[in-house]
Structure 1
Amino acid sequence: MAGWRDNPWTRFVARRAVRLLVSLAVLVSSAFALIHLIPGDPVRAALGVTAPADLVAARRAQLGLDRPLYEQFWAYVSGLFRGDLGVSSATGLPVADVIGQRLPDTLALAGAAFVVILLVAVPLGVAMAVLTRGGRRRGAELAFTGATGVLVAVPEFLLAVGLVFAFAVTWPVLPVAGNAGAAAYLLPVAALAVAPAAALARVIRVEGLAVLGQDYVRTARAKRLPARLIYLRHALPNMLTAGLTIAGMMLTGMIAGTVLVETIFAWPGLGTAFVDAITQKDYSLAQGIVLVYGAAVLLVNFLVDLVLSKADPRSTIREG
């Protein structure tokens, strides 16, 4: 029993797991409270203002909305352990079914954007660190920092609107709505990936410059080791430690950022379902989607912590 307590990495994982569970509990409570503080009657909104009062009352009783708030909360929490997220007041469908239909499209969009970010940012950041180390190629450095600085400053929704205008109005060569075919991914993925890729490339370049200035890299060069061996085996793993942290944070932000991008490009994912749920005062569906987004962010942060603890074991020791 004492064995796992003596292992720093096991203690680190246990602490992170406890934090994850506490955060999930806070998330469930906050989502329930915030959604129920929104003014308006979701049943009346779903059935219409002309619906008979007895029909509205029956629907409220069916959904459990006529019960005290604490009873609704207990029913909701107990339902979560059974995989029951409630019933949509607008469509009458189980919330879990609606989320199950929409979630794959959101994951596909966020996953594609994340892969593009890594494929662009890592080689670009490493290449610029190698090219500009020691103050070399000042012009390339200024061009890189200037261009990436501008791209980082452009909000994703503004870039999405610009892409729609460019490729739906000016040059109608790419689809700007739906997810039919590979071409439909190009514009929403670009809207999600451009700013994070530029930001991550800047971080990797700065980390790369610091790593390339270390004594062990200079020693490797003095031994005339092949450049491929110096950069890939010795320098690259240390360059990417901070980059992985930033990339994990970007992924969590990207998950939430899909809401706006999906709405602009009419992508059939959780983002458009969430906007529709808020518009229709569909509390159950909005609450379920908030939980999915929040749980995804917490889980990604947890996994990033585990990956970084393996990549840099010193972090587990520093936390005791």
Structure 2
Amino acid sequence: MSTDLVDIAGEAAPAEGSGPPAAARRLAGGRWIVFIGRRLVRLLVSLLVLVSATFAMIHLIPGDPVAAALGSSATPAMIADRTHELGLDRPLWDQYVTYLRDVVTLDFGRSISTESPVSDLILQRFPNTLRLAIPAFVLVILLALPIGLLTAVRTRGGRGRVTRGVFVGLTGLLNSIPDYVLGTLLTLIFVIGLKAFPAAGDQGAASYVLPIAALVVAPVASLSRIVRVEALKVLDAEYIRAAKARRLPTLLRYWRHVLPNMVTATLTYGSLILSGLIAGTVLVENVFGWPGVGTVITQAVVQKDYPTIQGVLLVLGAAVLLMNLIVDLALAAVDPRSRVGEL
């Protein structure tokens, strides 16, 4: 047995040096600063693209957005006054510079329909959206990891064909159901039929159950399949056989050698799931009448309230970018090999 395998299988070092102590040593000091600096630059560039896209949106829409928002009863004078108030009659470059300045100060303008500050509305509603998305993401990780790992153990080496067939079929079915469709089904069964949960809105802890369930089912099914595939690769690796030959306890072997070597793919795919969860809440909130930004943006689309649409989309996009940055930093800390080209 080579020295590397002895180190990997022994109790002094995690698998392939990918554990937290090794990660801290390899990414300490200046390398961490360079890595974080590059990630922050990418975040700022992505935010600039996002801000530019939301600014362009209102100018690419056919017709006059102010006239569309005010309705057919608006007079030309009313439209002209509202256009001047919103600054839409100024040169395009001037509007863009003003928009950038306002976004930096978290000023997203005023709603065309209610004339209230969009930032106040977002500040009031966005925490409610996070109260669904963050617990849903944590629950996805906590469920998908053990489900995928246990299925990999039971189906390793061609064993458990029935288990594999049931797992693949069931996860494929659950992954294909859109969250808003599942939310509607859950409402029909548990709200209208069984009357076991509140019908809509935030009415306490019970109000979280069905929206979070609608959000997590498909991601758990999808991520558990990824975990199973990665776990099968790790379980067949030579350093795992070496650890088993040393008669390490099964749980210790999985904890110290299997999980650290499958966490890269799990976290990478998990960041995509988190982005989907934040976007998915827009639809799920409308199904369950949840007081988040999802219901706000739906009403804004119906009312053609473009400043509100811009502000909500900008905040949702920024939240996704920030969450991806956090996942990237966590991934680099757990497994520096995943970012070796950037260090």
What residue in structure 1 maps to residue 339 of structure 2?
A: 316
Matched, 1:244 2:258: no
- Whole-Å separation in 2 of the counterparts to 1:317 and 1:201: 26
What residue in structure 1 maps to residue 321 of structure 2?
A: 298
Q: Percent identity?
A: 52
What residue in structure 2 maps to residue 111 of structure 1?
A: 134
What TM-score, normalized to structure 2? 0.86
- Whole-Å separation in 2 of the counterparts to 1:61 and 1:158: 43
Contact 2:223 2:270 in 1 (8 A): yes
Contact 1:259 1:272 in 2 (8 A): yes
Aligned letter for 2:192? V
What residue in structure 2 maps to residue 275 of structure 1?
A: 298
Gaps spanning 5+ residues in structure 2: where?
1-26
- Whole-Å separation in 1 of the counterparts to 2:146 and 2:291: 32
Measured on the aligned residues, the alpha-carbon RMSD in Å equals: 2.0
- Whole-Å separation in 2 of the counterparts to 1:269 and 1:148: 29
Aligned residue runs from structure 1 range 1-320, under 5 A: 7-319=30-342
- Whole-Å separation in 1 of the counterparts to 2:267 and 2:339: 16
Cα pair distance change 1:307/1:27, threshold 3 Å: same
1:143-202 deviations in Å (ceiling 9; x for gaps): 111111111111112212222222333333222311211111111111110000011111
Deviation at 1:24, TM superposition (A): 0.9
Aligned letter for 2:161? R
- Whole-Å separation in 2 of the counterparts to 1:119 and 1:262: 23
Aligned letter for 2:139? V
- Whole-Å separation in 2 of the counterparts to 1:74 and 1:197: 43
Contact 2:264 2:338 in 1 (8 A): no
- Whole-Å separation in 1 of the counterparts to 2:183 and 2:283: 9
Aligned letter for 2:202? N
Aligned residues: 316
Moved more, 135-144 or 84-93: 135-144
Deviation at 1:88, TM superposition (A): 1.0
**Does 1 or 2 have the higher relative contact order (CA < 8 Å, sep 6+)?**
2
Gaps spanning 5+ residues in structure 1: where?
none
Aligned letter for 2:255? L
Aligned letter for 1:95? V
- Whole-Å separation in 1 of the counterparts to 2:162 and 2:199: 37
Contact 1:151 1:195 in 2 (8 A): yes
